[in-house]
A = this chain, B = another copy of it.
Amino acid sequence: MQNFEFHNPVKVVFGKGSIAELAELVPRGVPVLMTYGGGSIKRNGVYDEVKAALRGRAPREFGGIEPNPRYETLMRAVALARKERVKFLLAVGGGSVLDGTKFIAAAVPFKGRDPWDILAADAAVAAAVPLGCVLTLPATGSEMNGGAVISRESSREKLAFTSPLVYPRFSILDPATTFSLPKRQVTNGIVDAFVHVMEQYATYDVDAPLQDRQAEALLVTLMEEGPRTLKHPRDYEARANLVWCATQALNDLIGCGVPQDWATHLIGHELTALYGIDHAQSLAVVLPALLRHQRRRKRTKLLRYARRVMRLTGPAGDALILKAIAGTERFFRAVGMRTRLSEYGIPAEAAEVVAARLDRRGVKLGEHEDLGPKEVAEILRMCV
């Protein structure tokens, strides 16, 4: 096991009716800005529940944060928060609203030239407005971590930052608020959570059997509860299990003391930035190809994955690994996700375009930090 630090201070309030807890959780006597997305919370009753819990207080509001939240939109919220001297941010929505709100939190007190530097130039986050959230979409895990991914319209970039200062003070997770999600978003959430686990699991072995089994627990449960909740979208138990899996998939825990990959995400972000496909769609396309391309270096873990997650038997070898990867792709398709670039209308040249963009940024990907433009292009050519 590698040395590690683990410090996750988020208070999770989970279950039916938990939005009412906002009355106690949101600080009193300070200006609060409530952020949300395209308005689904007004249609599904969550907005009213939040307002009822905060009765007698008058939070400012900023709506319209889009999927893949945009710097341009968020900077308008930053201006509003500065003007109103906001001291607490309450994000109500999915991972995009929450990620956007984390950026607002860090940008409001930012003293540098332009808060975009937090994403593009590793500028330090020295302070942040405290935030909390009501999560309405199980997927990104943002509700229990200190990371966010932000897009910039003008440059078609999609970049991430992390800071211990943007962990939510609390996250309210009421699975019933997610019943009204369209099927596509539930599918996206299942795949997103699954790939989060794979990024921390399918690397190389460092003799960390507990972390391996904790990751496998998530993968197996997602393969079981994902289809169950798609089939019975208003079954509270199935949805609750999906929500808790999605949170646990990216709350730092299974990454303790083990190497992490994240190449699938970084390649996927480019596909989303350039071609506009959903985040989870990009992951479903890239992961199988990446695993096939890197299967010799990931051999020990992929054999473990084949046996324990895909429940395959047979001699240890390349055939077993390829069968496990095919099973992964089949699982994605079974929950309604397409897994090929061509199915999204993305041209084969994407391979070279993405490779060149990553090369310009000078990043090397993967748990060995050695996948360059050549390997990225090879992987993407396998996704056609």
Contacts and interface: CB of A to CB of B under 8 A. Distances in A.
Interface of A: 1-18, 207-211, 213-214, 216-218, 220-221, 224-225, 237, 240-241, 244-245, 248, 253, 256-257
Contact of A244 (B18, B217, B240, B257): B257
A256 B11 CA distance: 12
A9 B207 CA distance: 27
A6 B244 CA distance: 12
Contacts of A3: 14-18
B208 A217 contact: no
Contacts of A211: 244
A4 to B, nearest CB: 5
Q: How many copies does the complex hold?
A: 2
Contact of A217 (B2, B7, B11, B210): B210
Given A6-B14, A14-B3, A14-B5, A225 B209 contact: yes
12 contacts: A1-B15, A1-B237, A1-B244, A2-B15, A3-B18, A5-B12, A7-B10, A207-B237, A209-B221, A210-B241, A210-B245, A244-B256
Interface centre among A14, A18, A210, A225 (most CB of B within 10 A): A210
B241 A208 contact: yes
Contacts of A2: 15
A244 B211 CA distance: 9
A248 B14 contact: no
Given A3-B15, A209-B241, 18 more contacts: A3-B14, A3-B16, A3-B18, A4-B15, A5-B11, A6-B14, A7-B10, A7-B12, A14-B257, A207-B241, A209-B221, A210-B221, A210-B244, A210-B245, A210-B248, A213-B213, A213-B221, A244-B256
Contacts of A4: 12, 14-15
A220 B244 CA distance: 22
Contacts of A10: 7
A9 B12 CA distance: 11
Contacts of A15: 1-4, 257
A11 B1 contact: no
Contacts of A11: 5-7
Nearest to A144: B6
B6 A9 contact: no
A214 B16 CA distance: 23
